[in-house]
Amino acid sequence: MSETKKWYEQSGAEGDICVSTRVRFARNLSRFPFPAKMTDEQARTLIDETSRALAASKIGKDFRLIDMEQASATERSALVERHLISPDLANGSRPRAVLVSSDESVSVMINEEDHLRIQVLEAGLAPEKALERAKAIDDVFDAALGYAFDEKLGYLTSCPTNLGTGMRVSVMLHLPALEAAHEISGMISGAGGMGFTARGIYGEGSAAEGSLYQFSNRITLGYDEDDVAKRMLSLAKQIITRERSLRGQMLARDRDGLEDSVWRAVGTLRYARRIDTAEALELLGRVRTGASLGVIPADYGRLNGLLWAVRPSSIVTRSGKDELDPSERDKLRAELLHEAIEPAKSI
């Protein structure tokens, strides 16, 4: 990890419940066929042109290009774990790459399902801030490369569900109380009625881990980008309000039981010799919940960093080795958590 502070090491607004906000634009260039029809030569040309366009801009000096054909399987997997690329980009067959800012808050996937996938990540609840930053990067590429755009349909994309704004805005929320109260299904259904969908931590097809849910807009055609961001903000605040209410009820109903659960989590994180990913996420989630209720002092940015650092490929990357077996990863993960969880300090 570089000396630059990563976006996920910060807490942000509503950080006790909202881990992160993401805005993603799907874009294609008018001069090339969609990626599924591109030749390898065209794909490499697009990578070169995109990289040069960003480097020539005022905001492009802080980016590095990672070629997927040259990156190892572990490196690609670690990028997926940190939400910098999609599994499709990691495992694709055509020439493809990603441009990543030093703090990892911005990534531009090249030659995934669309020519460009521009993504901005912010800690906490910040859809409008993320949108503003994404627009600035979007303008750079539009001016330099020229997008495929139709006056009626908007931005042209490989998948019809992305037509229009080509924008997905999402928030990742930690919702253990809604789960415990068996209200999560109803909340997801209600979000669906408002044009939003809920998925697991890695988007479509993934399961919720550690009570983390990702809510995003389903419709991109016929909506203004700023309006979608505002609607997401409104939905997130409704969910956060309900989650906080249920957490308060949990504390009032059984303070001793809740405190015991939180401190047991701290003890395990601090002293266990081996911890797998699922257990680490569940225990860190209990610490987050306890912190939000004043049971334990905690730095949400510190906890956010651990949510990504404990994942398998990130553990392997941290070790400096090419690969580790599961037991070796579990041991190194426990050692990482020992260092991070200091009883005398804010976690």
pLDDT score of 1: 39
Residue 343 has pLDDT above 90, yes or no: no
Q: At what angle do helices 225-253 and 277-292 cross, to 10 degrees?
A: 80
How far apart CA 309 and CA 82 sit, in angstroms, is 9
pLDDT category at 344 given cuts 50, 70, 90 is: very low
pLDDT score of 61: 84
pLDDT score of 35: 93
State pLDDT tens for residues 288-328.
999 999 999 888 988 989 999 999 999 999 888 888 999 99
Residue 41 has pLDDT above 70, yes or no: yes
In this structure, are residues 74 and 322 in contact, taking their beta carbons and an 8 Å threshold? yes
In this structure, are residues 136 and 101 in contact, taking their beta carbons and an 8 Å threshold? no
Burial class (CB in 10 A: 0-12, 13-18, 19+), 339: exposed
In this structure, are residues 174 and 208 in contact, taking their beta carbons and an 8 Å threshold? no
Of 238, 223, 25, 39, residue with least CA distance to 142:
25
pTM summary value: 0.90
Task: Enter the tokens of residue 177.
Answer: 């109380």
Q: At what angle do helices 40-55 and 127-145 cross, to 10 degrees?
A: 110
pLDDT score of 129: 96
Range(s) of the chain covered by CATH 3.30.590.10: 7-244
For the chain, the average pLDDT equals 91
pLDDT category at 345 given cuts 50, 70, 90 is: low
State pLDDT tens for residues 252-266.
999 999 999 999 999
CA-only gyration radius of the chain, Å: 21
Q: Give, in degrees to the nearest 5, the angle at Cα 219 between 113 and 21.
A: 75
Direct distance between the N- and C-terminal alpha carbons of the chain, in angstroms, rounded to an integer: 20
Lowest mean pLDDT among 3-12, 29-38, 79-88: 3-12
Q: Using H for helix, E for strand and C for coil, what is the string for the chain?
A: CCCCCCHHHCCCCCCCCEEEEEEEEEECECCCCCHHHCCHHHHHHHHHHHHHHHHCCCCCCCEEEEECCCCCHHHHHHHHHCCCCCHHHHHCCCCCEEEEECCCCEEEEECCCCCEEEEEEEECCCHHHHHHHHHHHHHHHHHHHCECEECCCEECCCCHHHCECCEEEEEEEECHHHHHCCCHHHHHHHHHHCCEEEEECCECCCCCECCEEEEEECCCCCCCHHHHHHHHHHHHHHHHHHHHHHHHHHHHHCHHHHHHHHHHHHHHHHHCCCCCHHHHHHHHHHHHHHHHCCCCCCCHHHHHHHHHHCCHHHHHHHHCCCCCCHHHHHHHHHHHHHHHCCCCCCC
Determine the topology of domain 7-244 in CATH: Creatine Kinase; Chain A, domain 2 (3.30.590)
pLDDT score of 202: 55
